[in-house]
Structure formats: structure tokens, C-alpha cells
Structure 1
Amino acid sequence: MAKRETVKKAEQLVEIAMGCNDASHDPSHVSRVRDLALSLAQEEGLSSTTDSMEIVELAALLHDIGDYKYLRDSSEEKIVENFLTEEGIEENKKQKILAIIKGMGFKEEIAGLSKVEYSPEFGVVQDADRLDAIGAIGIARCFTFGGSKKRVLHDPAISPRTCLSKEAYMNKEEQTTVNHFHEKLLKIKDLMKTKAGQRRAEKRHKFMEEFLKEFYDEWDGKA
């Protein structure tokens, strides 16, 4: 794992940069992703390599700083790179961390990243972030984010979009919170990169399916 002093500074940076975000993308989300990533890395056999664990931990901690959904100023896009440079992270590790952060988003998968070869470190960090987007926590985060954007909860007249491009995915106007399950969350299980991530995703995916069935039954007055 990463040097403790650097990790502590990264945790502090997360608190500063993300402390004012809504609860779907706050420091607690980052903490969960870090714990999940390290756990997945252990299961995937990366723990024998100190450099790999350092890359995984720092990428997981820093992955949402400068997220386009919360960007207030273009200078925020350089916060992570500047931090890694100031901390004296060697260039090879720094570039690997930055590559993971840049490529791990769902919008990048839509743009074709899934066809590109990826590192084991990338796989566990991306899977950890995606596990936090599904299951019980994922449901809570989905509705939290939708509420923060004053998005309609559900409208049967608005169908989920299909065959999304990166640009269409980023444009969420006139979309409902429940449609996000169909446009992204229910697809995540089949996009997991690691065996360990796939195993955990199965349970979380099933929980979402059961939730949606109950939701639609209640919406229609059948339950």
C-alpha cells in the first residue's frame, strides 16, 4: 500500500475537494471505494507487489477529484496530477495512477475503452468504484444524486435511452432517476473486469432487480 504520510495527505485532499459534494460522491464514497479496491486487489493476487498496491490505493482515493459532474473550475482537473508531483511519486507510478483515473468512468467505456488492454490495477479500482454504484449503496446513491439535481423520480412516459454515445450519456436532461438503472446500473455486472468483482456484483445486481420490481409494483398500486 502507499506510504502512510502520502495516503493521509490524499485523504485530506479528498475532504477538501469533495467535502461539499452531495452524499453520492462525497468522501465516504471514496473511502468505500478505497477499501473495496484493496480488498479486490488482495483477492486478485496483487498484494505481493508493493508498487501495485500503492497505485491501487492512491488511484482509488483520488479517482473522483475533478469529476466533470462537480467541476467548478477547469484548474481542478490538474489537482491530482499536481498532488502526485508534489508528493514525489515516481513518474511511472504517477502516469499509471493518472491513466486509471482518466479511463475508469462509464462514459469512457461507452467511448470504447473496454476494447483497450487494461492493467490489473485498473481492473480492481474500476470494479471497486462500480461495486459502490450498485446494490443497496448504489440505490441510495442514485436517488441522492437524482434528488440533488431535482430530477424526476419516475415517469412511465419517458423511456430509458438505448445505444448511448458518450455525449448523450453525459447529457442527462429530461431523464428520470429510475431510468438511470436501465441506462447504466443494470449493465455494470457484465462490465466487471476482475473475477473478484464479478462475484460481488452478482449479489448487488440481484438486489437492484428485486428493488425495481417492488418499485414498479408500488408505483402502479399493485403492492
Structure 2
Amino acid sequence: MEKAINCLEGSIFKKIESESKKYYEKNEPGHDWNHILRVISLCKKMMKVLGANERVLIPAAFLHDIVCLPKNDPKSSSSSSLASLRSIEVLGSCGFSEIEMINISNAIEDHSYSRGRIPRSLEGKILQDADRLDALGAIGVLRCASVAANMGSSFYNREDFWAESRPYNDKKFMIDHYETKLFKLPQLMNTDWARKEALKRIEFMKLFRSQLVNELDHCVVTSQL
């Protein structure tokens, strides 16, 4: 009986994987299928430590970016709500119960940074932490550069790298995003596991930024290094 149940679970996850993958084919590298697989991997690691409903958490991870508007789109903050609604359509054909679909949809809606929500469920909290962790570390450096390129942003402000006499503007300058959002993420994590991992990843990003400044001989290196 247990083997039959496991086979059924596996077939459901294969179905949701197949149905969700097509939504990411045209996404820029910061939000593509590889991003989804990394988030799922992080969710599984946290699930082992914290426990969670796999039938809610993993489908939510597969579907959390099926609507992903560009960051410079005025409606970008609505992406998670739109993804939440569209997920119901996908889930309906994959064998999930009504309550499971509601819980999955809620986790997707709650994960967004820009909406500033504390997720309603453990699964939502794990998904939110996993998605935020994927914005940090070595992969965070790559993703940030990818999103900036997609938006047509510059990597940095040549005249005032550290924003000492200007406000940060992460729509115009990629490196500003480190201060406006990314370095704030550890304190916003829902779980201790994610918070510790976030701090480790940020150490690498600070090293990267220091190396970048060292290579930019026209930038003034200040005590912030």
C-alpha cells in the first residue's frame, strides 16, 4: 500500500512539473526553470529540518513564478497574485484536492517580497525563504546582473558608486540593489535555517562588491569596504 501511495505521489509531482515547466521557457535567466529547480532544492532541505506538507510546498515552488512580470513593469508587484490565480487552473488538472489547491495558491501569493506579506502557512514561509535565498550568494550575483541587463540598467554609478551624495536607485544601478533589498533579507527570513544561510551568502556578495571596487580605478574606495 505504501509503495502504491508513493507511486501516486510521484506521478502527481511529475504532472505538475510537466505542466509548470512551459511557463518558464521565455523567462530571463533570473527567473527561469533553473531558478525553480534551485528553489525546490532549498525547499526540500528546509522541509527535512522543519517539516511541511510536501503536496503543498513542492507544487507551490514549481508554480510560484508562472506569472513573472519584468521588474520595471508598473504591475510587477502583482506577479505573485496573478501566479496564484493561474496556479488554480494548472492544479485542477493534476489531481489535487480543493483544500490543497487553496493552500498552494495562498503560499504562492504570500511569497512575494514586494507585497510585504508574512506567509499564512509553514509551507508559505519556507517557499518565501527559499525564493529569497536564491537572490543571495554567487547565484544572487548572477541573477541580479541578469535582471539588471533585462531592465537596461547600468551595473553601477561611475561618479558615486557608494551613493554618498545621491539616493540609492536600484532601477538605474544594479549594485544599489544590494543595499536597497538584498542585504536586508536575512532579517526578513522566517526560519533560523534560512537566516543563517542568508548571512553566509551575503558574506560572499560583500567580497564580490569589494573586488569590483578594487577593479574600478575611477571609483573612490571608502571606509565602507
What is the TM-score of this pair, normalised by structure 1? 0.80
Which residue, 141, 158, 167 being the options, matches 1:159?
Answer: 167
Task: Verify: 1:65 aligned to 2:66, yes or no.
Answer: yes
Letter of the structure 2 residue corresponding to residue 153 of structure 1: F
Distance (whole Å) between structure 1 residues aligned to residue 185 and residue 129 of structure 2: 9
Report matched runs for 1:68-83 at 5 Å.
68-69=69-70, 77=83, 78-83=85-90
Judge conservation of contact 1:14–1:27 (CA < 8 Å) in 2. Answer: no
Counterpart code for 1:159 = P
Question: Aligned AA for 1:56?
Answer: L
For 2:18 and 2:179, locate their aligned partners in 1 and report how far apart those are by CA, in whole Å: 35
Q: Secondary structure at the match of 2:195?
A: helix
State the identity as a percent.
Answer: 28
- Give the counterpart letter for 1:67 in structure 2: C
What is residue 176 of structure 2 aligned with on the other side?
Answer: 179
- Residues 108-151 of structure 1 deviation map (CA, whole Å, 9 limit, x = unaligned): 11xxx24xx63211111111111111000011110011112221
2:107 matched to which residue of 1? 100
Question: What are the residue-to-residue correspondences of 1:1-223 with 2, within 5 Å?
Answer: 3-46=9-52, 52-69=53-70, 77=83, 78-109=85-116, 113-114=117-118, 118-155=120-157, 156=160, 159-160=167-168, 173=171, 175-221=172-218
Deviations 1:30-84 (A, max 9, x none): 01101110111111133xxxxx11111111111110123389xx9x754311011
- Structure with the bigger RCO (C-alpha within 8 Å, sep 6+) is 1
For 2:152 and 2:70, locate their aligned partners in 1 and report how far apart those are by CA, in whole Å: 14
Residue 13 of structure 1: how far off its partner (Å): 2.8
Q: Could you tell me which amino acid in structure 2 is paired with residue 38 of structure 1?
A: K
Deviation at 1:219, TM superposition (A): 2.3
**Contact 2:106 2:120 survives alignment (8 Å):** no
> SS of the counterpart of 1:133?
coil
How far apart, in 1, do the equivalents of 2:168 and 2:61 lie?
A: 30
TM-score if structure 2 supplies the norm length?
A: 0.80
CA distance in 2, matches of 1:95, 1:183: 33
CA distance in 1, matches of 2:20, 2:137: 24
**SS across alignment from 1:106:** coil
Q: Give the secondary structure class of the aligned counterpart of 2:30.
A: coil
CA RMSD between the two structures: 2.6
Unaligned ranges ≥5, structure 2: 1-5
Task: Provide structure 1 residue ranges, at least 5 long, that are not aligned to the other structure.
Answer: 47-51, 162-171
